[in-house]
Amino acid sequence: RRPRLAEGPTLGRRRTRAAVRAGRRTNRLGFILTGIVVAFLLAFSALVMSLVLHEVGHAYAAHLFGDDTAKRQGRLSLNPLRHLDPLGTLLLLLVGFGWARPVPIYPPAFRAYRLGLFAVSVAGILVNLALAVLFALAVRGLFALDPEGVYGAFRGSGGSALGLLALAAYVASSINLVLAVFNLLPIPPLDGSKILQSLLPLAWHPWLWRLEQYAWLSFLLILTVLRGPIQEVLAFARQVFFTLL
């Protein structure tokens, strides 16, 4: 057998540089994967908070107008377990829209029936719109502090801690915008249907309240026939919102 030649200095340096590059790629991949997990956990926490605050907004508005039904059932609490609907939360993560457990209200207890119905229905939507704006402004602030890190996080090519926070804030803003626009749809039992109901003749209300028992049919339509149009509306709303902000 031929004797094995010792490595020359050039070959040794090449192998050393290759090992360093491989180590950097591994570290970079690990950072990206860790960042994705952290961003997802932050965004999921924002999702839970958004759903809870939406329902608390309804409950507090009802309490202000004289209906303590939600308060007596513990729905003024910030405990997520009192508000989250497993299916609605899962769908929000998977298809982009969902819901929490509706806050129980007794409209005849409102001091002003029409105004109370309108205010309670729009309260959760306003909460989500406010959160969407706050998170979007947070993204702009973080971008001003670390533009390269934010660019990297949004491109999925690494980024910085501030970039990951900006990415999570963007997802949280988008989630809140989706919740606000989705709930504006005039489909029972979504908030938009009650906003519309508060403006319609009182003689129609008994019939409109009876539609609540067919909520399962509404959700079936939302997940099938109406899914495409709703997603188009939500996509348009996101485009306009983030263009303005």
| Model confidence pLDDT, tens digit, residues 184-220 | 999 888 899 999 999 999 999 999 888 888 888 887 8
pLDDT band at 127 (very low <50, low <70, confident <90, very high): very high
Q: Quick: pLDDT tens for 35-47.
A: 677 767 777 788 8
Q: Which residue has the higher pLDDT, 231 or 62?
A: 62
Residue 110 has a pLDDT of: 95
91 or 206: whose pLDDT is higher? Answer: 206
Q: Which two tokens stand for residue 135?
A: 């998170």
- Judged against a pLDDT cut of 80, whether residue 49 lies above it is answered with yes
55 in catalytic set: yes
Local structure of 146: helix, strand or coil: coil
Q: What is the pTM of this model?
A: 0.79
Mean pLDDT of 80-91: 83
> What is the pLDDT, as a whole number, of residue 173?
92
Choice among 7, 55, 212, 232 that is catalytic: 55
pLDDT at 175 over 90: no
pLDDT of residue 41: 79
- Within 13 Å of residue 88, how many CA atoms lie on the same side as its CB? 19
* pLDDT at 14 exceeding the cut of 70: no
Q: Where are the alpha helices (DSSP H) in the chain?
A: 9-64, 69-72, 86-95, 113-145, 147-155, 161-184, 191-199, 205-210, 215-223, 227-244
Q: What is the pLDDT of residue 115?
A: 96
Q: At what angle do helices 161-184 and 191-199 cross, to 10 degrees?
A: 40
The residue-averaged pLDDT of 14-18 equals 56
Spatial distance between the Cα atoms of 100 and 48, rounded to a whole number of angstroms: 9
Mean pLDDT of the chain: 83
- pLDDT tier at 6, thresholds 50, 70, 90: low
The whole-angstrom separation of Cα 40 and Cα 19 is 32
Confidence band, pLDDT 50/70/90 cuts, at residue 30: low
Tokens of 153: 């996080």
Q: Is it the case that residue 166 has pLDDT exceeding 60?
A: yes
Query: Worst-scoring range by mean pLDDT, 70-79, 127-136, 161-170?
Result: 161-170
Whole-number Cα distances in Å, 88 to 73, 75, 197, 233: 20, 17, 24, 19
